[in-house]
Chains A and B, each alone.
Chain A
Amino acid sequence: AQRVTQPEKLLSVFKGAPVELKCNYSYSGSPELFWYVQYSRQRLQLLLRHISRESIKGFTADLNKGETSFHLKKPFAQEEDSAMYYCALRGTSGSARQLTFGSGTQLTVLP
């Protein structure tokens, strides 16, 4: 079975400080990993995915297959980064094609 674990429900950092949102997964294969974000009163939206190796809004995430992790990082947090962040996994076969979400981490960036 596939599973996504986000160990931190709440995370607070000061503006300008580095931030790391943790995500660990379990899947017997090569999954696709994503980070979704939900800003206050807005829809859930895709932030980034590991296959794109992109940096969005200063955020990056590296897939570490050895540690089965996909932590989200930003070197200098901004107040507008405050949001709910979900890590998600999509398997590559059969019904695993559907996304499995972690329980989310509420990030608050303090002024």
Chain B
Amino acid sequence: NAGVMQNPRHLVRRRGQEARLRCSPMKGHSHVYWYRQLPEEGLKFMVYLQKENIIDESGMPKERFSAEFPKEGPSILRIQQVVRGDSAAYFCASSPGTGGLNEKLFFGSGTQLSVL
């Protein structure tokens, strides 16, 4: 099991372009979480998805940001018309979704987005 895979590791975009970040959860995991880490800050929750459903997007900016987790394929975090303030490390985590006290999150290595 390769673990949670995120790509690309580094993404450079110019202001106004679109950024697409991919996350493949661990095998057998049906729940995906996206977190953002701004410089000098902790990880901030953005969105929680199950296959084909957004469960909680309370941490997602209202504009330009969207996320999906289709039936087939990776979860995608999409940022339209990027601005310099979007520069951050974006981490994805997955869990089996059993919901019990022993539920653990497994993190990917993150995507470092740099907006020029």
Contact = CB atoms under 8 A, between A and B. Distances in A.
Contacts of B59: 98
B52 interface: no
A44 B48 CA distance: 18
Contact of A43 (B33, B41, B109): B109
A4 B45 CA distance: 13
B105 A32 contact: no
B56 A98 contact: yes
B1 interface: no
B107 interface: yes
Interface residues of B, number: 22
Interface in B11-62: 33, 35, 40-45, 48, 56, 58-59
B91 interface: yes
B42 A43 contact: no
B104 A95 contact: no
Interface in A30-69: 32, 43-46, 51
30 contacts: A4-B42, A6-B42, A9-B40, A32-B101, A43-B4, A43-B107, A43-B110, A44-B43, A44-B91, A44-B107, A45-B107, A46-B104, A86-B42, A95-B56, A95-B58, A97-B48, A98-B33, A98-B45, A98-B56, A98-B59, A99-B35, A99-B43, A100-B45, A101-B35, A101-B42, A101-B43, A103-B40, A103-B41, A103-B42, A104-B42
Q: Which secondary structure dominates where chain A touches chain B?
A: mixed
